Chain A
């Protein structure tokens, strides 16, 4: 009798917010909603999609940048969407794929990390955070099979190892550690080419910022679902750096300067492609 009580208590003791929701409030999970009604039609559901996230390591940390465009088919659904979010003090998360589910997953992931920290009184390790995110993406697999996929990119500072690290995922929740740099989204093929040419080891944070802006510019140049820097509306990419001191959002003024420098250089070159 006593043993079964102890077992029960142990089984109920979870530090995971997602597990708590799964048990007590499953309807609140972004990926537990059933799409049975009409979703089996051949036409994919028309919802906003977010595209092109780039991330790279630099001397002392990691940097992640995302453009500001969300599309719905051939329509621009939003010019202001943010696709890079701070996950906690030492990590950031970028999302590509179905915007609505991705934003909900991000929110859930943020609460998950904070919840663990409050219950346990200590932060989850970077590996632990990366694995939790993988489990959430796997939870979304049924939705992904119906066309509502979310593909995140995760970057953080590993405080025990003292280095910045990057993780990419597939829709089944597979987690892959990336070295140097990585990019996701429909414009990623173009951004990747730019990164391969511009990235080198031990960039400074300022150099990494201009590499990120330049590769997003290349993605926007060739991918209609990626938005370039918008000088009319004063819209620049959203960029976060994570280093020993934590995650910081790069200020608008620095982004404006970096974006204008790229536009200036391209204008001077005046080349077609």
Chain B
């Protein structure tokens, strides 16, 4: 029998965090922006069917970067949590805060107890009746949770994208401007180069949470996925 080497807890956690961070940094970025019309979720994603952005409940959406199978299982668990809660209590008792804390607990448990941490970063967004009531939570692989106000950027070049969006963000943005801003952030100009060409609609995944879906579409489900034609029309 071979003797186990002693590894200090600090070193163990640091190695796990480095491993997860590396996995996440390989992926492309996702941007979630709160604006006047609601919340826009924009991802660079060439696949039309493997989504990085999804609906969880009436007013709640989910966005993720990292390993697909890991965040997809978290998304499905979130849908189950929300549906069971809404069915057994009431639809309005399903909140992003509750969902985010469940995610934080599961990510934290996986990070400390499992063989390998999840290589994912998540955002949970809830649209409110006014912009002040919007909630954006960012969750990282170790279960840390942060409450953001204006926008969340996750994935590969998060810092670069984030600084580009910070420069252009205003509370009064409409969906078209918010998506344009996200695109500008996702294709940052390299140093000393011409600004990169904007991404074509086929390489994008865009979804929105309508602030007033009851009035505009007659449904309490605020989540709407935009297809290529919708994206082209929105940005025209």
Report how far A20 CA is from B79 CA in the complex, Å: 11
**A163 close to B (CB within 8 Å):** no
Indicate whether B3 reaches chain A with its CB closer than 8 angstroms: no
Q: A118-B79, A119-B79 are in contact. Are A107 and B56 (CB under 8 A)?
A: no
A48 smallest CB distance to B (angstroms) = 21
Please tell me if B51 contacts chain A, counting CB pairs below 8 Å. yes
> Across the interface, which residues of B come within 8 angstroms of A118, CB to CB?
54-56, 79, 83
- Which residues on A sit within 8 Å (CB–CB) of B86? 111
B87–A28 CB distance below 8 A: yes
Q: Report the minimum CB–CB distance from B226 to chain A (whole Å).
A: 14
- CB neighbours (8 Å) of A233 from chain B are none
0/1 interface trace, chain A 21-34, chain B, CB 8 Å (1 if under): 10011001000000
Interface string of A80-124 (1 = CB under 8 A from B): 000000000000000000000000000110010011001101000
Determine if A25 and B79 form an interchain contact, defined as CB atoms under 8 angstroms apart: no
Report yes or no: B84 in contact with A21, Cβ–Cβ below 8 A.
Answer: yes
Q: A119-B76, A119-B79 are in contact. Are A107 and B51 (CB under 8 A)?
A: no
Contact partners of A24 in chain B: CB under 8 A: 84
Chain A residue at minimum C-beta to C-beta distance from B79: A118
Q: Evaluate contact between B83 and A114: CB separation under 8 angstroms.
A: yes
What residues of A have a CB within 8 angstroms of the CB of B221 in the complex?
Answer: 114
Point out the residues of chain B lying under 8 angstroms from A25, CB to CB: 84, 88
How far in angstroms is the closest Cβ of chain B from A133? 16
Contact partner of B87 among A107, A119, A121, CB < 8 A? A107
B49 at the A interface (CB under 8 A) = yes
Chain A residue nearest to B55 (CB atoms) is A118
Q: How far is the CA of A111 from the CA of B54 in the complex (A)?
A: 17
State whether the Cβ of B80 lies closer than 8 Å to any Cβ in chain A. yes
Interface size for B (C-beta < 8 A) is 14
Within 8 Å by CB of A115, from B49, B51, B54, B79, lies B79
Q: Is A20's CB under 8 angstroms from B49's CB?
A: no
Check if A111 sits within 8 Å of B88, measured CB to CB.
no
- Interface members, chain A 20-70 (any B CB < 8 Å): 20-21, 24-25, 28
B60 to chain A, nearest CB (A): 11
Select which of B54, B56, B84 is within 8 A of A20 by beta carbon.
B84
Are A20 and B80 interface neighbours, CB within 8 A? yes
- Residue A17, interface by CB 8 Å: yes
Minimum CB–CB distance for A106 against chain B, Å: 12
CA distance A64 to B109 in the complex (A): 50
Nearest chain A residue, comparing its CB with the CB of B72: A119
Give the CA-CA distance A21 to B81 in the complex, in Å.
11
Given contacts A25-B88, A28-B88, A108-B87, contact A121 B79 (CB under 8 A): no
| B65-105 contact mask (Cβ, 8 Å, vs A): 1 or 0 | 00000000000100110011011100000000000000000
Q: State how many angstroms separate the Cβ of B106 from the closest Cβ of chain A.
A: 15
Determine the residue in chain B with the shortest Cβ distance to A108: B87
A111–B51 CB distance below 8 A: no
A111 touching B87 in the complex, CB below 8 Å, given contacts A118-B79, A121-B51: yes
- Encoded as 1 (CB less than 8 Å from any B CB) or 0, chain A from 191 to 217 comes to 000000000000000000000000000
| Bound-complex Cα distance A121 to B205 (A) | 14
Collect the chain B residues with CB atoms within 8 Å of residue A119's CB: 76, 79
Report the minimal beta-carbon distance from B80 to chain A, rounded to whole angstroms. Answer: 6
CA distance A117 to B79 in the complex (A): 11
CB neighbours of B87 from chain A (8 A): 17, 21, 28, 107-108, 111
Q: How many Å lie between the Cα of A17 and that of B76 in the bound state? A: 11
Tell me the bound Cα distance from A28 to B79 in angstroms. 17
Q: Contact at B83–A28, with CB atoms within 8 Å?
A: no
Contacts of B51 in A (CB 8 A): 121
CB–CB A17/B83 < 8 A: yes
Kindly list chain B residues whose C-beta atoms are within 8 Å of the C-beta of A108.
87
Given A28-B88, A118-B55, CB of A111 within 8 Å of CB of B83:
yes
Report the minimum CB–CB distance from B93 to chain A (whole Å).
Answer: 14
* Interchain CA distance A217-B76 in the complex, whole Å: 47
* 8 A-B pairs whose Cβ atoms sit less than 8 Å apart in the complex: A17-B83, A20-B84, A21-B87, A24-B84, A28-B88, A111-B83, A111-B87, A114-B221
Closest 9 A/B residue pairs (Cβ) = A118-B79, A111-B87, A115-B83, A118-B55, A28-B88, A111-B83, A17-B83, A20-B80, A119-B76
Taking A111-B86, A118-B55, A118-B79 as known contacts, 14 extra A-B pairs with beta carbons closer than 8 A to each other, sorted by chain A number, are: A17-B87, A20-B80, A20-B84, A25-B84, A28-B87, A28-B88, A108-B87, A115-B79, A115-B83, A118-B54, A118-B83, A119-B76, A121-B49, A121-B51
